[in-house]
A and B are shown apart, each in its own frame.
Chain A
Amino acid sequence: MFIGAIGCEPLQLRRVSLERSRTLDVYRRNGGYEALRKVLDGMSPDDVIGEVKKSALRGRGGAGFPTGMKWSFVPKDSPKARYVVCNADESEPGTFKDRYLMERDPHLLIEGMLIAGYALGARVNYIYTRGEYRYLIEIMDEALEEARTAGLLGDRVLGTDFNCEIYTHTGAGAYICGEETALLNSLEGLRGHPRMKPPFPAVAGLYGCPTVVNNVETLTAVPDIIKMGGDAYKALGTEKSGGTKLWSVSGHVARPGVYELPMGYDDMEKFIMEDCQGITNGRQLKAVIPGGSSVYIMPAEDIIGRDVRMDYEGLVAAGSMVGSGGFIVLDDTVDVFESTKNLTEFYKHESCGWCTPCREGTDWLVKVFKRIESGGGRPDDAQLLLDIVDNIEGKSFCPLGDAAAWPIQSAIKKFPEDFRRHISNGASGDGGKEGLPTA
């Protein structure tokens, strides 16, 4: 598996390939905690927020909300405690970048959180990690302890009067807990149902206090923004999407991995065919799901020869989204009916059950998929699927409902033939028991 940068100097992935990269020692020798020092040596919290605003950094968790703006929503005069919570729930299928950031460079996240904590006046912060990533929690705990011993964490950080604590917290197997308000409920020891917004977490989040929830990748971008300045960071990317972005590449490519690309990387086709070394086994590209399982699927013809620019605007123009950057490549053995069924089962399993459309809708969708697969397809089934999905999209309590809807909408639109074949023939002959080809 590849891990590194293409088309730019590695920024967030600068240290990941160094030996003992996760130790404080290596981190420090490679520019670590310089940004924190700079911040504590004379930047005001507003200065920090100002730099982040200038950087045009957008949240890497999936929604792409401008980070500086989110930070500025935290009320400055609230008498309540404030919290920074790092969203390390990473559960979007196809996404695994946060995992390597934490595994290889835990201090980068700690530094980012300390700076965020300073900017937002947060004294106790949490890293919410999905329960399956237990080994990462152990790595983080070790790094936190190292930082604490080195005076980088706890009371009087680097000898200043800035106090900041960071703790790890474990999830326990629930994709929905990646949604920031569900995450907060989970962190409070409740069921992981999303909360009503407003109030937004920035105003009333953890324990009812102002809280900023940021993705690991977002927070790990902060030290470099401080070091190089917001403008310089932004210049790495495009006008609206600053900096670099990590892409988790998986599926039928010769070289899967975590790729750091400048925002606005100019061509998705080149990225797949050259940087990722093309499709495995000499097969043809059939489709790409570029931003994690929730985004619209892109057929090869929307990529090949189309100069798809890899940033927020470019992907929207190409009919999809950056999302979490979970880049799943599908070759021509994949039956998009089956792959869509697979993802729909995921959403059914992960629906929290709070709201009617998502809870009942995903359950129904899976039943229809299964019926079609087992040979019970009916002529209007594609329309039925689209109708069900239409009654979910935009009507669910949180975006999980939409996330379940989009793959189906785009799959039926772009690959009608795969659906038609199943619906009219019953189970496809080429799928084996599970339906999907096995490599």
Chain B
Amino acid sequence: MSQQFTPNNPLPQEAKVPPKMAVFPPEVEAEIERHLAKYPVKRSAILPLMFIVQRERGGYLDPPGVAYLADRLGVRITDIWEVATFYSMINTEPVGRYHFQICRTLSCKILGAGKITEQCTKRLGIKPGETNDDGTFSLSEVECLGSCGTAPMMQIGFDYYENLTTEKVDELIEKCKSGELSNGVR
């Protein structure tokens, strides 16, 4: 387990190369360019770019994605880390393909958010904060999503599903399983 390093031959090759940098297709690069063009300071585009990178890198900021962001925005990787960990929608760990985000705040709660979460847990076999084994589903409880008038509700990816009932939840899960439903990631 212990490694031998000498000052003359410092590091094993792979450790020395910085984490590989993600590469994106031209249409994604164009999208990134469009965002960068909005701001006089590149760093301003950090959040829009993080969403793009996480969409393209399987739902979260993996090390090559982080390296890409740092390079593209001209900041250190630790700057990416400090921002990414501040915002709850930026994932630094993998999440499931369908991310059920159930609002748990007051209006939804008093109108039955607890039952919705319970139903999801029952049907998906995961508790809030977990991802199922094959990575299809993640379940989260999130704070108020501005749908209090149509409570209870949840978001799958970016898509809103409102006035939920347990039956509707069952239906949604079926549609996810059959691949009929968009995962709302864009």
Contacts and interface: CB of A to CB of B under 8 A. Distances in A.
Is there a contact between chains A and B in the complex with CB atoms less than 8 Å apart? Answer: yes
Nearest to B144: A93
Contacts of A252: 110-111
B44 A188 contact: yes
Nearest to B45: A189
Nearest to A192: B86
A58 interface: no
Contacts of A91: 143-144, 146
Contacts of A425: none
Interface string B38-66: 11111111111011000000000000000
A257 B112 CA distance: 18
A436 B150 contact: no
Nearest to B115: A438
Interface string B99-129: 0000011110111111100000000000000
Nearest to B46: A189
Category for how many chain A residues contact B = 35 or more
Q: Which residue of B90, B109, B111 has the most chain A CB atoms within 10 A of its CB atom?
A: B109
A363 B51 CA distance: 29
Interface string B138-166: 00001111111111000100111000000
B87 interface: yes
A401 interface: no
A387 B111 CA distance: 31
A96 B88 CA distance: 20
Give the interface residue-count category, chain B: 35 or more
Contact of A434 (B51, B90, B109): B109
A191 interface: yes
Interface in B79-95: 82-83, 86-90
B76 interface: no
Contacts of A343: 105-106
Given A96-B147, A186-B47, A256-B149, A432 B110 contact: no
Contacts of B114: 432-434, 436, 438
A93 B147 contact: no
A189 B90 contact: no
A189 B144 contact: no
Given A132-B146, A339-B106, A169 B82 contact: no
A21 to B, nearest CB: 18
A192 B111 CA distance: 31
B177 interface: no
B89 A172 contact: yes
Contacts of A382: none
A131 interface: yes
A290 interface: no
Contacts of B105: 93, 293, 342-343, 346
Given A174-B87, A190-B83, A135 B148 contact: no
B143 A346 contact: yes
A328 B87 contact: no
Contacts of A170: 47-48, 51
Contacts of A289: 106
Contacts of B176: none
Interface in A314-358: 326, 328, 330, 333-334, 339, 342-343, 345-346, 349-350, 352
B32 interface: no
A36 to B, nearest CB: 22
Contacts of B83: 189-191
A250 B146 CA distance: 10
Contact of B143 (A126, A328, A349, A433): A349
B73 interface: yes
A1 B150 contact: yes
Contacts of B155: 132
Nearest to A289: B106
Which of B38, B88, B90, B110 is the most central at the interface, judged by chain A CB atoms within 10 Å of its CB? B110
Contacts of B48: 169-170
Given A342-B105, A346-B105, A432-B114, A173 B88 contact: yes
Given A189-B46, A326-B148, A328-B148, A439 B111 contact: yes
A191 B50 CA distance: 13
Nearest to A135: B158
A330 B79 CA distance: 43
B149 A248 contact: yes
30 contacts: A1-B150, A94-B107, A96-B147, A96-B148, A96-B149, A98-B146, A99-B146, A131-B51, A132-B146, A169-B44, A170-B47, A170-B51, A174-B88, A189-B42, A189-B46, A190-B43, A190-B83, A191-B82, A192-B86, A207-B41, A251-B106, A256-B148, A256-B149, A257-B149, A289-B106, A342-B105, A343-B106, A349-B88, A432-B114, A436-B110
> Which 5 residue pairs are nearest across A and B when measured between Cβ atoms?
A250-B148, A189-B43, A173-B88, A173-B89, A172-B87
